[in-house]
Chains A and B, each alone.
Chain A
């Protein structure tokens, strides 16, 4: 089987801060762990912690028996921190109407991931969900392309960071009415 992940090495350039993972990127990492593991190790060495949120942990651990649930929960416990962003929702009051305006079909877990990027200035998100994570309020900084010969489609996983200038511009537009 021929497979290439383009730009993967560039991921290790990110230093310090949180690397947030959504369900799609967690699954991609599991699927291509032999390619991702060394890069993730480098990122950890650089001081970039792997983090997710409880609702993503819920989605990721969804399975049909206790044994499989425990395997996935143990994986999260061993390698990924689960940050309870919901405890700090009061900080994101202005972000809510902006997201309603710019991404009106956003799911609640994806909203919470936006909150994480907003809250932690040096944080980035790795995701394959380009429908809900868009360059409207975020900057798409890097795209990893997974090209597997046996799959008909090419998959893109991107690194996103929050853009405060885009956010401020969107907030100003809302204030103008």
Chain B
């Protein structure tokens, strides 16, 4: 049986984890690198939600 679109989509997505806070590692260089990637993703967002006003000021 072929997979549903939902199943195919699920395979492409990063699953948010609820891992214990104490177990998380934190490397400052990795943080900067990953934060920079996230910052780039905000530059293409066009649907500004009034509820998330700070998102407006994120644009560079």
Instruction: Judge if B32 is at the interface, Cβ distance under 8 Å.
Output: yes
| Chain B contacts for A78, CB-based, 8 A | 24, 30-31, 34
Any chain A CB within 8 A of the CB of B5? Answer: no
Interface magnitude class on chain B: 35 or more
Known contacts A73-B13, A84-B18; A27 and B44 CB within 8 A of each other: no
Whole-angstrom CA separation of A62 from B44 in the bound complex: 12
Query: Could you say which of A35-43, A90-98, A134-142, A164-172 contacts chain B?
Result: A35-43
Interface of A is mostly: helix
Partner of B14, one of A18, A28, A73, A84: A73
A31–B31 contact, CB under 8 A? no
How many angstroms from the CA of A34 to the CA of B28 in the assembled complex? Answer: 10
Tell me whether A33 and B36 are in contact in the complex, defined as CB-CB below 8 angstroms, given that A18-B21, A41-B28, A78-B30 are known contacts.
yes
B16 and A76 contacting across the interface, CB-CB below 8 Å: yes
Across-interface contacts of B9 in A (CB, < 8 A): 66
* B15: A residues at CB distance < 8 A: 73
Residues 16-45 of B contacting A (Cβ, < 8 Å): 16-22, 24, 26, 28, 30-32, 34-42, 44-45
> Chain A residues near B42 (CB, 8 Å)?
27, 30
Number of interface residues of A (CB under 8 A): 49
- How far is A63 from B18 in the complex, measured between Cα atoms in Å? 21
**Is A99 engaged at the interface, CB distance under 8 Å to the other chain?**
no
Given contacts A18-B21, A74-B34, contact A54 B16 (CB under 8 A): yes
A4 in contact (CB, < 8 A): no
Contact A79 B13, CB 8 Å, known A33-B39, A41-B26, A49-B21: no
A41 adjacent to B57 (CB under 8 Å) = no
Given A23-B54, A28-B54, A44-B26, A75 contacting B37 (CB threshold 8 A): yes
CA of A149 to CA of B38, assembled, Å: 23
List 10 A-B pairs, minimum CB-CB distance, nearest first. A49-B21, A33-B35, A81-B21, A68-B41, A24-B54, A73-B14, A44-B26, A41-B28, A70-B14, A75-B38
B residues at A contact (CB < 8 Å): 9, 12-22, 24, 26, 28, 30-32, 34-42, 44-47, 49, 51-55, 57-58, 60
